[in-house]
C-alpha cells in the first residue's frame, strides 16, 4: 500500500469506510463469528434447474451429494445434515473442497423436470457421485452400473458420515 493510499485510507476510516487490505478478511471473520452463535447454519448449496449443471460442472470438489427434498415437508429432512455440510462446505470447513453438499427443492415448479430425471420418489432422496456425472444426468431405479449412487440409510448426520467414509476410503 503506498503512502498516499495509506493516508487516503486513514481519512476514509475516520468516515468508517475502511479500505485496508485486511478489511476483506475481517468481513469473513465476522461471518464466521455469527456462525458460531447460529450453530445450525446450513452450508449446503441450494441448487435449482437453472444453475444445477453449471455449479456441478464448475465445482473443484471430488464428490457431490445432491439431496432432493420438498420444503413443505420439514420432517422429511430433519436429519441434521447441516452438521455434515459444515464439515465440508463453508468458511469453517474441516475438510474443505472434497465434497460439495447440495440440495434441490422438488416442490419448486422450476425443478419438477430435474427431480423427475432423477426419479425422485420420496423425500429426502440423496445421491452420491462425481460432480460431472450429475451434469445433464439422470437416474433410474433399475439402472445398473450407474455413476450416480443413491445414499440409503442416511437418516442421521452420523450415518451419512459413515457412508461418506466408506466411499472415500475405497
Ligand X SMILES: *[C@@H]1O[C@H](CO)[C@@H](O)[C@H](O)[C@H]1NC(C)=O
Interface ranges with ligand X (CB under 6 A): 48, 50-51, 110
Report the alpha-carbon distance of residue 45 to residue 30 in Å, rounded. 20
Dihedral angle of Cα 79, 66, 164, 91, to the nearest 10 degrees: -80
User: What are phi and psi for residue 147, nearest 5 degrees?
Assistant: -75, -15
Which residue in 18, 76, 106, 115 is the catalytic one? Answer: 76
**What spatial distance separates the first Cα and last Cα of the chain, rounded to whole Å?**
49
Active site residue 73: yes
Of residues 92 and 108, the one with the C-beta less far from ligand X:
108
Smallest separation (angstroms) from ligand X to the CB of 137: 18
DSSP codes of every residue in 110-148? GGHHHHHHTT--SSSEEEEE-HHHHTT----TT-SS-SS
User: In the bound complex, what is the minimum distance in angstroms from residue 163's beta carbon to ligand X?
Assistant: 27
Q: Does residue 66 sit in helix, strand or coil? A: strand
- Residue 76 annotated among the catalytic residues of the structure: yes
Q: Which residue lies nearer to ligand X by CB, 20 or 43?
A: 43
Residue with smallest beta-carbon separation from ligand X: 48
Least distance CB 102 / ligand X (angstroms): 11
Nearer to ligand X, 28 or 110 (CB): 110
Catalytic residues: 73, 76
Amino acid at each position: 500500500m503506498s503512502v498516499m493510499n495509506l493516508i487516503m485510507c486513514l481519512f476514509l476510516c475516520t468516515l468508517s469506510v475502511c479500505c485496508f487490505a485486511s478489511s476483506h478478511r475481517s468481513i469473513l471473520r465476522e461471518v464466521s463469528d455469527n456462525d458460531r452463535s447460529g450453530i445450525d447454519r446450513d452450508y449446503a448449496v441450494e441448487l435449482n434447474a437453472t444453475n444445477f449443471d453449471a455449479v456441478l460442472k464448475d465445482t473443484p470438489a471430488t464428490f457431490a451429494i445432491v439431496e432432493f427434498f420438498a420444503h413443505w415437508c420439514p420432517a422429511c429432512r430433519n436429519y441434521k445434515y447441516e452438521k455434515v455440510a459444515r464439515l465440508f462446505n463453508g468458511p469453517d470447513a474441516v475438510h474443505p473442497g472434497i465434497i460439495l453438499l447440495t440440495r434441490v427443492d422438488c416442490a419448486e415448479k422450476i425443478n419438477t423436470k430435474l427431480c423427475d430425471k432423477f426419479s425422485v420418489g420420496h423425500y429426502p432422496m440423496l445421491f452420491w457421485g462425481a460432480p460431472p456425472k450429475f451434469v445433464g444426468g439422470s437416474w433410474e431405479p433399475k439402472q445398473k452400473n450407474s455413476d450416480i449412487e443413491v445414499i440409503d440409510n442416511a437418516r442421521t448426520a452420523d450415518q451419512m458420515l459413515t457412508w461418506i467414509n466408506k466411499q472415500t476410503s475405497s
